Amino acid sequence: MIVTQVLAAALGTVAFALLFGVPRKYYPYCGLIGGAGWLMYCLLEPVLNAAEATFFASVLVIFLSRMGAVREKCPVTIFLISGIIPLVPGAGIYWSAFYMVTDQLTEAGEAGFAAVKAAVAIVLGIVCVFELPQGVFNFVRRDRKELRTQKSRKNG
């Protein structure tokens, strides 16, 4: 069951990447990042509450997005915007509106508050990882091998 959800999240992430005009060569990265975020959420949700699981999943998504951006030498938003889509609390917002319209205000408040907590968790995850210095992500640079070759030529 979890494999199906992760594959659906990866496919949905690629679909949103297509919708947002992400270049085709980045689709595999987008799918991998979105699927990894949803996998993290699915693994943590039974142990933590939904907002905490969303926070840690969004931290993973942002971390992977920054790694992909450094590796591919492109803006991080290419991976971030489409990769975060599976974690967005769309169902909570829908149910909150539904309960309001059907005059079930207690349920509307609960669903709305849960959606707001998830949205805040996503924002906090983004902020936490964006505060890391760029040098943390340099280990994934594509030209790392070239740098080592240049250093060895200088030294030898």
143 pLDDT exceeds 80? no
The pTM of the full predicted model, rounded to 2 decimals, is 0.84
pLDDT tens sequence across 98-135: 999 999 999 999 999 999 999 999 999 999 998 888 87
| Segments making up each domain of the chain, as ranges | 2-155
Q: For residues 29 and 18, give the distance between their C-alpha atoms in angstroms, rounded to a whole number.
A: 13
pLDDT of residue 51: 94
Looking at residue 109, its pLDDT comes to: 94
Beta-carbon neighbour count of residue 124 at 10 Å?
15
On the question of pLDDT at 17 being above 60, the answer is: yes
CA distances from 53 to 26, 98, 127 (A): 26, 25, 16
Q: What is the pLDDT of residues 63-106, one digit of tens each?
A: 999 999 988 889 999 999 999 999 999 999 999 999 999 999 99
Whole-number pLDDT of residue 92: 92
Q: Stretch 31-35: mean pLDDT, rounded?
A: 96
Q: To which residue do tokens 């689709």 refer?
A: 27
